[in-house]
């Protein structure tokens, strides 16, 4: 049953589109097509592949910004990270048991007890979940920083981190071969970068001015960013150029960050209500957990879908990517609605509430010491 909601369906539609961008990026990234080696025979497919890398990283940034936009003005609640961890455990263990013991599929990735227990008790690995959970636990401290800074100082913080974690880090990756130098030296990780996206989302919510509040300007900024990515992908006509542009198309790339802010702001400025869109948007995290599961991933992109069959032209490669990614997207939505939201959601929510109460009691007792 679809419940009524006051959520802006424009932002929920963007949540759906950003997850689809992530799925089609995985078609390009995990594909059987050897895109890491620049072969002029497959130049068209390589250029499309490069743009899909940009498109997927754009989806990641937008997805995080959407979550941070709503979190930055809320009080911290243990329920959010607990529910996210339990939902991830539900899918990770559920998929592993179903594949290994029900279907008796020979899994391509070996696992150990240590691998299951750390960093969270999961058979599968999800870098995005780890970083997002840390961001959720850091939320109250990030909000303290945001609320203690004036507009100019928050903008200075964001600008400084972009210079450090975007321009400087990418510059070191692309141009620098200085021994003993690593991007870790600058404090850059996917987790710390999520903190930067959190600050950006908070700034958009609290202080966005004439440009970010304008449909016209944000639409122009979005189109310019996407066109720049298309042009850069088209110009990648050698191994060196391909690799260099690929490095700038990561989640911390300047074009990726700027385009994500413009696209998010455009959708934020549009307002409409659609309960179907809102309901489908509730399954976006489930899509990620299902199709990016460590054991499901090789089944989808290696065994069921072989992208190397469609590399003879850029258009063929793109159309195949759109078709198969949409198919994966729809199947995962159906699985999430049936398995999690209709059958197991009450159990997950009860466990969330129970663990939340245990933690609250523990915190109270510790504070009394």
Along the chain (369 residues), what's the average pLDDT of each consecutive run of 10 residues?
69 98 96 87 94 97 97 92 94 91 77 66 85 95 96 96 90 69 76 96 93 96 98 93 92 96 97 96 96 93 92 95 97 96 94 93 82
- What global pTM score does this model have? 0.93
* Structural domains of the chain, count: 1
Other beta carbons less than 10 A from residue 78's beta carbon: 17
What range defines the domain where residue 210 resides?
A: 9-368
Burial of 42 (0-12, 13-18, 19+ CB in 10 A): buried
Q: Round to whole Å and give the CA distance between 206 and 211.
A: 14
- Tell me if 329 is assigned to some domain: yes
Contacts of 331 (CB under 8 A, 6+ apart): none
Q: What is the pLDDT of residue 182?
A: 67
- DSSP code of 178? -
Q: Round to whole Å and give the CA distance between 222 and 219.
A: 5
Q: What is the pLDDT of residue 180?
A: 64
Q: What is the pLDDT of residue 278?
A: 96
- Tell me if 327 is assigned to some domain: yes
Contacts of 49 (CB under 8 A, 6+ apart): 28, 31, 33, 35, 317
- Tell me if 3 is assigned to some domain: no
Place of tokens 């991830």: 88
| Residue of 14, 26, 52 whose CA lies nearest to 230 | 52
Q: What is the pLDDT of residue 177?
A: 61
Q: Round to whole Å and give the CA distance between 262 and 213.
A: 10
Place of tokens 């975007």: 166
Contact 45, 244 (CB under 8 A): no
Q: What is the pLDDT of residue 183?
A: 66
Q: What is the pLDDT of residue 176?
A: 65
Q: What is the pLDDT of residue 1?
A: 45
Contact 30, 297 (CB under 8 A): yes
- Tell me if 218 is assigned to some domain: yes
**Sign, CA torsion 250/256/258/263:** negative
**Sign, CA torsion 297/302/308/309:** negative
Q: What is the pLDDT of residue 185?
A: 64
């Amino acid at each position: 049953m679809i419940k009524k909601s006051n959520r802006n369906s424009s932002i929920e539609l963007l949540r759906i589109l950003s997850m689809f961008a992530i799925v089609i990026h995985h078609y390009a990234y995990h594909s059987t097509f050897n895109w890491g080696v620049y072969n002029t025979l497959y130049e068209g497919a390589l250029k499309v592949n490069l743009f899909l890398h940009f498109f997927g990283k754009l989806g990641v940034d937008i997805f995080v910004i959407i979550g941070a936009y709503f979190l930055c003005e809320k009080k911290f609640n243990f329920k959010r990270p607990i529910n996210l961890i339990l939902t991830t455990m539900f899918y990770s263990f559920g998929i592993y048991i179903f594949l290994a013991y029900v279907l008796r599929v020979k899994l391509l990735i070996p696992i150990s007890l240590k691998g299951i227990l750390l960093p969270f008790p999961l058979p599968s690995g999800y870098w995005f979940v780890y970083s997002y959970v840390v961001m959720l636990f850091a939320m109250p401290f990030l909000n303290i920083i945001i609320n203690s800074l004036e507009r100019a100082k928050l903008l200075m913080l964001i600008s400084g981190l972009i210079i450090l974690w975007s321009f400087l880090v990418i510059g070191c990756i692309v141009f620098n071969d200085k021994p003993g130098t690593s991007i870790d030296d600058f404090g850059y990780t996917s987790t710390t970068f999520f903190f930067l996206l959190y600050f950006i989302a908070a700034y958009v919510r609290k202080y966005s001015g004439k440009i970010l509040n304008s449909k016209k300007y944000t639409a122009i900024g979005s189109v310019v960013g996407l066109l720049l990515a298309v042009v850069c992908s088209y110009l990648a006509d050698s191994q060196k150029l391909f690799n260099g542009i690929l490095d700038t198309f990561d989640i911390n790339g300047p074009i990726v960050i700027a385009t994500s802010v413009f696209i998010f702001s455009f959708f934020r400025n549009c307002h409409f209500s659609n309960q179907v869109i809102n309901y489908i948007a509730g399954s976006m995290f489930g899509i990620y957990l299902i199709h990016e599961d460590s054991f499901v991933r090789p089944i989808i992109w290696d065994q069921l879908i072989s992208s190397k069959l469609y590399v003879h032209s850029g258009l063929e490669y793109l159309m195949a990517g759109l078709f198969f990614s949409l198919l994966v997207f729809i199947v995962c939505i159906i699985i999430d609605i049936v398995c999690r939201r209709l059958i197991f959601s009450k159990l997950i929510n009860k466990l969330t509430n129970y663990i939340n109460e245990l933690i609250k009691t523990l915190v109270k007792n510790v504070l009394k010491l």
